[in-house]
Structures are given as C-alpha cells and as structure tokens.
C-alpha cells in the first residue's frame, strides 16, 4: 500500500544545507517536509569517530571511492543531520578572495562578500562556534609544537561546540543540525521522514510535481509545490540526473585530496597522545591555499587501517596505539571528477582525476607533514602508502619522498562539492545564482553541490551561509 504526503516545499536531505533551508522556510510560514535517507541517531548513543558510528551514520559504512589513479576514498554522512553529525565540527569562514573569485568567474548575482560574512556571524552564534576552553589534547599540542619550531603559521580552528563549566577539550557537545537548525525547523512546524530513500523526482516539463520514495520496502509518494535537493555533492547530482536533468550536473566534482601518516611519541615523555573520541583542533596554514595540515580521527581501528599499506613493517606498532596519532596533509586540487547515475544501480559511479601538479603536491605535503612530526619529537612516522619506510630522521624523509607516488598512496577526502555549481553563466553553471536548476521552474539545489570550486578550507560554513542566503531569497519571492 502506498503512503502519500503533501507539502509546500519538499527538502531532500537534512545536513548543513537541508536543515538550514528547512528552518528558514518553516519560520517564513511554508509547509516544509524533510526526507532523509538515513536514521535519526541521538548524539551520545554512538562513540564519535568509532567503527560503530561509521556503520550507523555513514553511507556504506564509510567505504566509498571515486575511481581513478589513484582511487580516492570519500565519506558521506547518511543520517539526520548529515555530515554535521560525524565530522570534526571545525569551522572555517569562506575566504574573502574565494567569494570574490566565485562572484566574478561564475556570474553570481547578489553575492556581496559582506552579506555572506554577516550570515556567517549568525551561523556562528546559532552553532556556538568557539575555541576549546582550557588545555588542548596532546594531539593538538603536537601539531602546534612542531609547526612553532619550524616557524610555520598555525592556529586553533574553532568548533561548533558547547562546553560545561570547567570542561576540557573532550567534553564538548557538538552543536550539529540535530541540536540546532532541525529542532528550530520543527518548532516552526516542519516535519521530517527519516529512513526514506528518494527514488525519483517526477517532472511535467519544466516543473517537478511529485517524488517517489521507499520506506521499509514500501512505496511512498509526496506531492509538492517546490523541491529543494540537499543530498550532498554526490547524491544531489544523481537525484537530478534520475529526474532527467543533466545540464552541467555532476561534471565538475571538486575535493580536497588528502594523504595521511601516523606518528608515534615516547609515552614516558608525552604520555598517551591518542584521544580516540576527538581530533586535533590545530591546523598548519603556512602553505595555504595549496596545502594544509591537521589532525585526523585516531580511533584504534582507524590507526590499524592507517598502518595497512606496509603492514609487514608497520603492523607491530598497532599494539602501541595509545602512543600514536594520525595526521593529514590536504591539498586544493586542480583535478575534477564526475558523478554519474546509472540505471539499476543504487548509488552513482564517481570518478576523479588528479593532475600531475596534484600528485606532486601530495608528495610534498606528506614530506612537510613528516617534518612537522619530527620537529614535535616523534620517535617514528608511518606514512600511508605502499612500500613506505619508517621515518625516524630528516634523511629518512628524503628516502620517503623518493619512494612516494600518489598511485601507491591511500588518498581520501571528506570535503566534496561543486557538482551543480551556481551562477548565471549557463556555460559553466547548473543552477542560477540562487540555486534554481537551469531549465526548471521549481527544482532547487541548496547544498555543497552549489559551491563553484573547493574553497581550500572546510566547506560547511560556506554551505550553511549560502543555503541561508538562498532560502531567504526563496521566502521573499514566494511571499510576493
């Protein structure tokens, strides 16, 4: 038996774009229905950065790849709140020069830098963005110490967290979408259907008229006035393609490719450096925007995974996991990828091509990151690529660099964007300046897919600010 719903605005996805859109539109008086493919998972019911969390809150248990040489592993949140529930919560405003470049290069109207940054201030207040009170974790201090010894620019990145009186770095409560914008949307009358997979948006010419979904194996239909797709940079283009919309959609995937290493420190001198439930809040920006360094999740299972590229030589270190922490070098890529929905397949095929410059930068980034670790007094460094040596000295870094090839590395990313870029230049862009898909009257995009390029920093602040901008424009137009 088919279940049927109706609404003014159907929002597909409940992450950084979907939740903020829902709050703005519900508060403006629209009847908003959110559909989310994944479950609602209460914070605290799973351990952060654990394998259990990956199983319950990530798509495919966190194991998805963009095919290429090398293939790039990527992660997607698949739960109420999307990626805001599972990432580190580090908050970066979009750089002003990035906003200005996007405005001119992609002909984005009504995109004044001051206006976007003013919305960022609102977001920061709503999410309680702030630095860690009191002492930082050992993993944070290591990155800061190594960069300071080298004289490299570094600093703490604030997070969307609240902290009880006298709390330390690991006692914060994540102010993700399930704690902020989603409850705000519910207070204004919005509804959410979790565990509902969108199969198809049905169109009649330029207008979308309904959605077909599946819930617990049963069919569901939703009739709406307008639909806003916020499924993320991978799922959003696939949803649009299944609806027969293809102009500039899914052809310009941009990511921040990342390589990693594990570093071991003397327990007698540094104590336990591994903090399974947290990450370093320091980043090194000496070589930005081309590359940056930071701390990665270091749960014991992830430490073991990081050592597998040369398990014969590295494997014995896993028993010392409390003395190990994982760090990354991320680059701003010139390469681009594609997302292609294929009939009969549940998820799209994703490909990505690194340029020679990208591959060279990954090697340089890993070498510089290893240098930071040695300056921070690491005993041993374990680079994550096949055939990598154990790095103990500066001379070993040269050996590591000579053996490195991107094709042998475990390259990954958590930042995905640009698969339906916005702007009034239809030769470059899939949507107009406010997210309306070109060639349609009522199909909108309002998530990371809109970002014309990878911003060089964590993109979620950019996503939220732009989504709020677009939702307000929508509400103003519909009110008129």
Count of all residues that appear for the chain in the document: 480
Do 259 and 384 meet the contact criterion of CB atoms below 8 Å apart? yes
Do 462 and 13 meet the contact criterion of CB atoms below 8 Å apart? no
Q: What does the block give as tokens for 278?
A: 């947290």
Do 281 and 401 meet the contact criterion of CB atoms below 8 Å apart? no
- CA of 323: how far to CAs of 274, 284, 309, in Å? 6, 22, 19
What is the distance between the terminal CA atoms of the chain, rounded to a whole angstrom?
A: 39
5 catalytic residue (yes or no): no
DSSP single-letter state for residue 358:
H
Do 50 and 301 meet the contact criterion of CB atoms below 8 Å apart? yes
Cis preceding linkage at 19, omega within 30: no
Helix pair angle (16-27, 460-479), 10° resolution: 30
Q: Sign of the CA dihedral 402, 404, 406, 411? A: negative
Element (H, E) at 328: strand 324-331
Distance CA 448, CA 227 (A): 16
Q: How many CB atoms lie within 10 A of CB 476?
A: 10
- Strand-pair category, 197-204 with 416-417: unpaired
Give every CB contact of residue 314 below 8 A, 6+ residues apart in sequence. Answer: 262, 307, 308, 382, 390
Q: Which of 136, 196, 256, 415 is catalytic?
A: 415
- In DSSP notation, 7-27 reads EEEEEE--SHHHHHHHHHHHH
Q: Which residues are catalytic?
A: 415
């Amino acid at each position: 038996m088919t279940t049927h719903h109706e609404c003014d605005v159907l929002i597909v996805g409940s992450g950084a774009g979907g939740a903020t859109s829902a709050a703005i539109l519900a508060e403006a008086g629209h009847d908003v229905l959110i559909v989310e493919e994944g479950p609602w998972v209460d914070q605290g019911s799973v351990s952060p950065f654990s394998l259990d969390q990956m199983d319950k809150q990530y798509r495919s248990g966190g194991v998805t790849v963009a095919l290429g040489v090398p293939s790039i592993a990527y992660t997607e949140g698949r739960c109420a709140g999307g990626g805001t529930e599972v990432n580190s919560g580090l908050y970066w405003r979009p750089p002003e020069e990035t906003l200005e470049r996007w405005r001119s290069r992609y002909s984005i109207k009504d995109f004044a830098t001051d206006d976007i940054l003013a919305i960022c201030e609102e977001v920061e207040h709503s999410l309680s963005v702030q630095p860690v009170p009191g002492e930082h974790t050992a993993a944070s201090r290591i990155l800061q110490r190594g960069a300071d010894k080298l004289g490299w620019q570094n600093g703490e990145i604030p997070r969307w967290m609240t902290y009880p009186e006298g709390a330390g770095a690991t006692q914060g409560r994540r102010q993700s979408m399930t704690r902020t914008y989603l409850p705000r949307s519910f207070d204004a009358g919005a509804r959410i259907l979790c565990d509902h997979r969108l199969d198809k948006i049905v169109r009649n010419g330029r207008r979308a008229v309904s959605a077909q979904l599946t819930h617990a194996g049963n069919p569901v239909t939703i009739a709406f006035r307008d639909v806003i797709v916020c499924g993320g940079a991978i799922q959003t283009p696939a949803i649009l393609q299944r609806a027969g919309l293809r102009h500039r959609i899914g052809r310009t995937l941009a990511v921040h490719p990342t390589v990693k290493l594990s570093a071991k420190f003397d327990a007698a001198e540094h104590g336990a450096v591994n903090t399974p439930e947290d990450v370093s809040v320091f980043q090194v920006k000496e070589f930005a925007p081309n590359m940056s360094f930071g701390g990665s999740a270091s749960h014991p299972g992830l430490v073991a995974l990081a050592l597998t590229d040369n398990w014969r030589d590295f494997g014995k270190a896993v028993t010392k996991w409390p003395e190990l922490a994982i760090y990354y070098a991320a680059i701003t890529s010139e390469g681009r990828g594609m997302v292609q929905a294929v009939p009969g397949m549940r998820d799209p095929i994703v490909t990505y091509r690194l340029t020679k410059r990208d591959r060279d930068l990954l090697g340089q980034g890993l070498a510089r990151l290893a240098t930071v670790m040695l300056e921070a007094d690491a005993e041993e460094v374990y680079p994550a690529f096949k055939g990598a040596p154990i790095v103990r000295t500066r001379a070993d870094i040269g050996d590591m660099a000579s053996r490195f090839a991107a094709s042998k590395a475990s390259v990954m990313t958590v930042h995905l964007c640009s698969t339906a870029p916005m702007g009034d230049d239809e030769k470059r862009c899939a949507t107009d300046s406010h997210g309306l898909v070109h060639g349609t009257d009522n199909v909108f995009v309002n998530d990371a897919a809109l970002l014309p390029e990878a911003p060089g920093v964590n993109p979620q602040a950019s996503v939220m600010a732009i989504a709020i901008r677009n939702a307000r424009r929508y509400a103003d137009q519909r009110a008129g």
